[in-house]
Structure 1
């Protein structure tokens, strides 16, 4: 039995190792290319370790492109949408989890059914809505929807809220706490893993969003990183080493944010699965 289990573990870990290597090869090529001279990019065989190493490519990326402006725009949109998502989804999820009202379950089902609507179905009517509001070439179309909730995040937080014992809230009510006070002082501190999970998902979705900025932003000074890098790539005589340097810098915040919140992310998924 021990031999059989050991063999199974070896096979599993070997397959995971092979899969990890396959997944990391494109990243390794991107990182290597970002440190090469232009004429070395498409050399055959591939030179994985650049010689010489051109750290100056990253400096050229920031000075030769409005990269700092694009980065600032992306940070503004991302932080605003994270704040809006956490505020709206937390309040709605708490209402679905704790409040008693006629039709609550029906409304919850209707909300979940919106997850089955492809984005391409709502893209045109939403575009005309924001156009009629005069919000073209502003960040409002990218930020405002976050303040109206997200069905998946509301479902995730609702399941987490339902796993919190109601006795804690009842004790707070006896002490004179209001509903908002209970949510802020009792529930939210216990929901940190789920909130961080929502923030991670929202961050990755908005930071790498291309379609939204493409629809609503036409001025280069308003571009986000995803749109700006694609604009740079579409130009003639693309310098691939500079493009890869920009891609590395763009990807780093997502990696850092995920690894910082990985512990809470795993904890949230585990607890939600157990108590849901």
Structure 2
């Protein structure tokens, strides 16, 4: 009886803690959403007021109609193109690298992997100058390639996919080789379908990381029309950052949040599936 009571108390305590955490995370997003529908007079009122006195669409109309100083629609499309392409390339590179480290036998395999893993522990900021010099030498500055290519071989994602692959029986590979399958055929026809959940999770991480990246795009993209939406927010802060235009700034911020929020909403089940290393073995 005491154990049951203790379990119930722990369960309710967990619910309360998670609810408070969710509220802390949601309140700024809700405030940004409601502020984007406020008039200038509502924004200028003193004190905290969550809901607007009257809901208006003027802020969104002004933001979306600006095609010169702050072309947010162009930035949005740039972000979609860059994040999608970056994610597709990441899945290909990461899955191939993880397959090599997890399923192939070659000399110094583990040494190479853990060396790369150790190097990746250095802060990303130390690579900014070398990365910029490489991008500049390749002539990619102010082009989507400058944002798409760097980071597609994310070591963290390689580690995650490799760990997932090591949970799959090697008997699959051996049976396929006895039937004459090559390593690439085993990777494409057998391994990739089995690791679909973890590839989806890494895709989500890659897409959101690319979409939300702020520092690197502001360094390599100087043309206003080539900016991503997150890098463009810095420019929007200069244009709409005064108190009179806070509604337009919040409307822009909320538009930038929509894709990643929807992505997590519809793909959250894959996070749970990826936690089971044997999820690909379901019959």
Fold-level match, TM-score > 0.5?
A: yes
Instruction: List structure 1 segments (4+ residues) > 4 angstroms apart after TM superposition.
Output: none
Contact kept, 8 Å, 1:200 with 1:257, in 2: the verdict is yes
Alpha-carbon distance change, 272 to 77 in structure 1, aligned in 2, over 3 angstroms: farther
* 1:98 maps to 2:103: yes
From 250, 260, 272, give the equivalent of 1:244. 250
- In the TM superposition, 1:79-90 aligns within 5 A as 79-90=84-95
Q: Distance in 2 between matches of 1:11 and 1:157?
A: 34
User: Does structure 1 residue 112 correspond to structure 2 residue 117?
Assistant: yes
Do 1:153 and 1:198's aligned partners in 2 also have CA atoms closer than 8 Å?
Answer: yes
- Measure the CA separation in 1 of the matches of 2:240 and 2:50: 26
Aligned ranges 1:1-276 → 2 under 5 Å: 1=2, 2-64=4-66, 65-147=70-152, 149-235=153-239, 238=242, 239-271=245-277
**Aligned equivalents of 2:241 and 2:20: distance in 1?**
36
Gapped regions of structure 1 (runs ≥ 5): none
Q: Distance in 1 between matches of 2:172 and 2:108?
A: 26
Shift of 1:237: 6.0
CA 1:255 to 1:31, structure 2 compared with 1: closer, same or farther past 3 Å?
same
Deviation, structure 1 residue 42: 4.0
Residue 20 of structure 1 deviates from its aligned partner by 1.7
Contact 2:91 2:203 (C-alpha < 8 Å) held by counterparts: yes
Deviation at 1:272, TM superposition (A): 7.8
Question: How far apart, in 2, do the equivalents of 1:88 and 1:252 lie?
Answer: 28
| Cα gap change, 1:179 to 1:9, in 2 (>3 Å) | same
**TM-score, length-scaled by structure 2:** 0.91
Structure 2 alignment gaps of length 5 or more: none
**For 1:135-186, what per-residue CA distance to the aligned partner results, in whole angstroms no more than 9, with x for missing partners?**
2111222112244x11111111111111111222222223332211111111
Distance in 2, matches of 1:232 and 1:76, equals 21
Q: Output the TM-score relative to the length of structure 1.
A: 0.93
CA contact 1:89–1:154 (8 Å) conserved in 2: yes
Q: Which moved more, 1:16-25 or 1:180-189?
A: 16-25
Q: Report the CA distance between 1:53 and its aligned residue.
A: 0.6
Q: How many residues align?
A: 273
